[in-house]
Every structure is written in structure tokens, then in C-alpha cells.
């Protein structure tokens, strides 16, 4: 069992252990008094793992309830959130009760925002079931829903009380979603861990990879919980990635879009002499190993336009995450009008 303690505005543990999902209730009981627990999951994950988690919670004294929503980023919206709020209210959840988010990034984001907003805030536990959620989104307390205008435009910082990662559940993850999660892992390597990229080139143990990413995330969140400085680096590839996701009506999933976003910004930076030559080729090679070699078909103009509502914009300025070499990224303050130059240079 591997444990990582996060010291953010609240302290909590990330526990990584095979089969931990079967004993989830015991671990939840270690940090929560007996109470009502609403397990929130989506239509892919619910049939696979909900009964296991429910049984374990009940064996450990929790009164459990379930809420299942249709899987997909397009459901991370106000309508699903409203249904969750109503399910909590209908079952008389109080401030001493709990949400358990059982699923991937979409489930964690919307469940976390329900926890942040219901009764002005109740506790929540993350049980991530996708590689993307284990290595990135379940840690650090970013919670949100999407608007028609873009991704994650309404949300809150709300830290979970516990994160339980069971690498065994990755066995039921499709190849597509395994690759999707690998894009976020490669992101960590590109930001500040060239050794992680080297590990990915050979044989690796996925538990080691989850632990490395969770440790990196912990460090960054502890340094900048509210995304004012260092945490912005975690958005490498995301400015254009979110645009691509949005332009595709979410038919291109997050990790694949981020992979395309990382390629655009890395190629742009090489072409604009902001990044050491060779970084783009190295990035493409490692992405291809995980079937993340698709290129975008959207135009530079469409991608730049869709990025205007990015959360890293402030007035007319935007903070871009740029690579300076493989395994090293920096923040680069520019104007929104410069975005088009970057997308053009990245798609040449």
C-alpha cells in the first residue's frame, strides 16, 4: 500500500493499493463518522463497481444511497448537477453526510462540485476508476461543470477528504481510455520529469506511474492550491486541448485533445525559437507509443477562437504553458491576440 499525504487547505491521504475498492468502507470509516453516503457514478462504472463499494460502506456502518448518470463529458452540466442536488435533498442529506465519487474525471468533477455547493459544502471522497482521474483529476480539489461556452467554466476549489486508487480497476478500462489517461501522465513528464518520459519508453509498473504523478500533483497543489502560479503548469496542452474538445462536441476525449494541444504548443514553441529543437519529435514518439498520435483537423483560427474563454485568461492577457525543452515547461504571459500566431505556428 502506498500513501501520500496532501497538506492543502485540508489534509488528506491518497492511498494506492490493489483491491482497495473492496475495503473502501473501512478506509472511509477511518476519516468519517458513520453517516449517509451518496455514491455517485456514471453508467459505465456503476454496473462494475457500485455494489462492491456500497457493500463495503454498509459493512462499515454507513447508510448508502446511489446516484447514476449517463456517462460522457456532455453530462457534466447543470442538469445532472441539479439532479444530484435533488437526490441529496430528497434523501435528507445534512452537512455531516458524505458524497463518494466513484468514476473517472467527469464523475469526480461534478460530484466534487455537488459536494462544494450542496448546503454550502459537504465532505466528499474520491474513488477514481480511470487512469486520468488517478493520475490527475482526483487530487487537488478542482471541481466543476461545463457550460455551452466551454469546459469547467463554473466550479469551486473543494478538497476531498480521501482519495482511494485501486489500480486493479484499470483492467476494465478500454484501450481508448487507457491512452486518454496516458496523455496526462506524459504531461507530467513534459512539465518537469524527463525521467518519467524515459520510464514510459520501456516497461513500467502502472502503480509506480500513478504514485509519481500523485506525488507531483501533491507538491504543486501544496505550493499553489488556488491556481495562481505553479499549478497553472498542469495546464500544459490544455489551452488548445480544451478548444479541440469543445470544437468536437466532446467526441474527442480529454486526454486525446490534450495530446493534440501539447503537440500544437510544442511545435509552435520550436518554430518560434522558444523551445529547444527535438522536443516536438520526442513528444510525438512517446505519444505514438500510447496511440495518441492523431492530429487535429480544426483550423488554427477555430482553435484560437475557442481558447478565448480559457480560465487562464485575464482581461486581454493569457498565461500559456510553454515547453522550453523536453521535461521543462514555463508560464508565458501573452495577449489573446497572439494566440492565433501560436496555433498557426503549431499547425504548420
CA distances from 272 to 148, 266, 284, 323 (A): 33, 10, 18, 12
Binding mask 85-124 for ligand GLY (x = CB under 6 A): ----------------------------------------
CA angle 176–43–92, rounded 5-degree value: 140
Nearer to ligand GLY, 54 or 232 (CB): 232
Region near ligand GLY per CB under 6 A, out of 43-51, 133-141, 172-180, 268-276: 133-141
Nearer to ligand GLY, 75 or 231 (CB): 231
Q: How far is the CB of 238 from ligand GLY (least distance, A)?
A: 7
Q: How far is the CB of 292 from ligand GLY (least distance, A)?
A: 17
C-beta nearest to ligand GLY: residue: 234
What is the length of the chain? 348
Cα 265 from Cα 258, distance rounded (Å): 10
Cα 44 from Cα 103, distance rounded (Å): 9
Nearest residue to 303 via CA among 246, 227, 232? 246
Options 36, 75, 231, 254; binder of ligand GLY; rule CB under 6 A: 231
Nearer to ligand GLY, 39 or 234 (CB): 234
| Cβ neighbours around 205 below 10 Å, total | 10
Q: How far is the CB of 337 from ligand GLY (least distance, A)?
A: 26
Region near ligand GLY per CB under 6 A, out of 86-94, 190-198, 226-234, 296-304: 226-234
- Please list the residues that pair with 69 across neighbouring strands: 42
140 in contact with ligand GLY (CB under 6 A):
yes
Nearest residue to 293 via CA among 182, 192, 215, 160? 182
142 in contact with ligand GLY (CB under 6 A):
yes
Cα 312 from Cα 310, distance rounded (Å): 5
Q: What are phi and psi of 97, to 5 degrees?
A: -95, 180
Options 38, 57, 212, 234; binder of ligand GLY; rule CB under 6 A: 234
Options 42, 73, 136, 245; binder of ligand GLY; rule CB under 6 A: 136
Nearer to ligand GLY, 95 or 226 (CB): 226
Nearer to ligand GLY, 234 or 283 (CB): 234
151 in contact with ligand GLY (CB under 6 A):
no
Region near ligand GLY per CB under 6 A, out of 136-144, 162-170, 282-290, 295-303: 136-144
Cell of 233: 503548469
DSSP 134: I
Q: How far is the CB of 142 from ligand GLY (least distance, A)?
A: 4
Cα 273 from Cα 289, distance rounded (Å): 27
Query: What is the residue-wise DSSP string for 190-240?
Result: HHH-HHHHHHHHS---HHHHHHHHHHHHHHHHHH-TTSSSGGGGGGTTHHH
Region near ligand GLY per CB under 6 A, out of 43-51, 55-63, 134-142, 192-200: 134-142
Q: How far is the CB of 84 from ligand GLY (least distance, A)?
A: 21
Nearer to ligand GLY, 146 or 270 (CB): 146
Exposed / middle / buried, residue 34 (Cβ in 10 Å: 0-12, 13-18, 19+): middle
Nearer to ligand GLY, 227 or 293 (CB): 227
Region near ligand GLY per CB under 6 A, out of 92-100, 107-115, 137-145, 253-261: 137-145
Q: How far is the CB of 137 from ligand GLY (least distance, A)?
A: 6
Cα 190 from Cα 108, distance rounded (Å): 25
Is residue 75 within 8 A of residue 106, CB to CB? The reply is yes
Residues of this chain that bind ligand GLY (CB under 6 A): 136-137, 140, 142, 227, 231, 234
Amino acid at each position: 500500500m502506498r500513501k501520500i499525504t496532501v497538506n492543502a487547505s485540508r489534509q488528506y491521504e491518497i492511498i494506492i493499493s490493489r483491491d482497495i475498492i473492496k475495503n473502501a468502507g473501512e478506509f472511509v470509516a477511518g476519516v468519517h463518522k458513520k453517516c449517509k453516503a451518496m455514491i455517485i457514478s456514471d453508467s459505465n462504472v456503476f454496473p462494475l463497481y457500485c455494489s462492491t463499494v456500497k457493500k463495503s460502506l454498509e459493512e462499515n456502518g454507513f447508510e448508502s444511497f446511489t446516484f447514476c448518470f449517463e456517462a460522457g463529458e456532455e453530462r457534466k452540466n447543470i442538469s445532472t448537477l441539479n439532479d444530484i442536488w435533488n437526490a441529496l435533498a430528497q434523501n435528507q442529506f445534512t452537512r455531516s453526510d458524505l458524497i463518494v465519487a466513484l468514476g473517472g474525471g467527469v464523475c469526480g468533477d461534478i460530484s466534487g462540485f455537488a459536494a462544494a455547493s450542496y448546503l454550502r459544502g459537504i465532505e466528499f471522497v474520491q474513488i477514481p476508476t480511470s487512469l486520468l482521474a488517478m493520475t490527475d483529476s482526483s487530487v487537488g480539489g478542482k471541481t466543476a461543470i461545463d457550460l455551452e461556452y466551454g469546459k469547467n467554466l463554473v466550479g469551486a476549489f473543494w478538497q476531498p477528504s480521501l482519495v482511494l486508487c485501486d489500480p486493479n480497476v484499470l483492467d476494465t478500462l478500454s484501450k481508448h481510455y487507457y491512452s486518454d489517461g496516458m496523455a496526462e501522465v506524459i504531461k507530467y513528464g513534459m512539465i518537469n520529469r524527463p525521467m518519467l518520459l524515459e520510464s514510459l519508453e520501456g516497461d513500467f509498473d502502472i502503480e509506480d506511474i500513478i504514485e509519481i504523478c500523485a506525488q507531483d500533483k501533491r507538491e504543486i497543489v501544496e505550493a499553489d492550491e488556488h491556481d495562481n502560479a505553479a499549478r497553472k503548469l498542469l495546464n500544459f496542452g490544455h489551452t488548445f486541448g480544451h478548444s479541440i474538445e469543445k470544437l468536437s462536441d466532446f467526441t474527442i476525449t480529454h486526454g486525446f485533445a490534450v495530446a493534440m494541444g501539447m503537440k500544437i504548443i510544442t511545435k509552435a514553441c520550436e518554430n518560434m525559437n522558444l523551445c529547444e529543437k527535438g522536443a516536438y519529435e520526442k513528444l510525438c514518439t512517446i505519444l505514438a507509443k500510447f496511440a495518441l498520435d492523431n492530429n487535429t483537423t480544426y483550423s488554427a483560427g477555430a482553435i484560437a477562437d475557442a481558447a478565448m474563454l480559457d480560465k487562464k485568461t485575464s482581461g486581454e492577457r493569457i498565461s500559456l504553458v510553454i515547453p522550453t525543452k523536453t521535461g521543462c515547461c514555463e508560464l508565458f504571459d501573452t495577449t489573446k491576440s497572439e494566440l492565433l500566431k501560436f496555433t498557426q505556428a503549431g499547425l504548420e
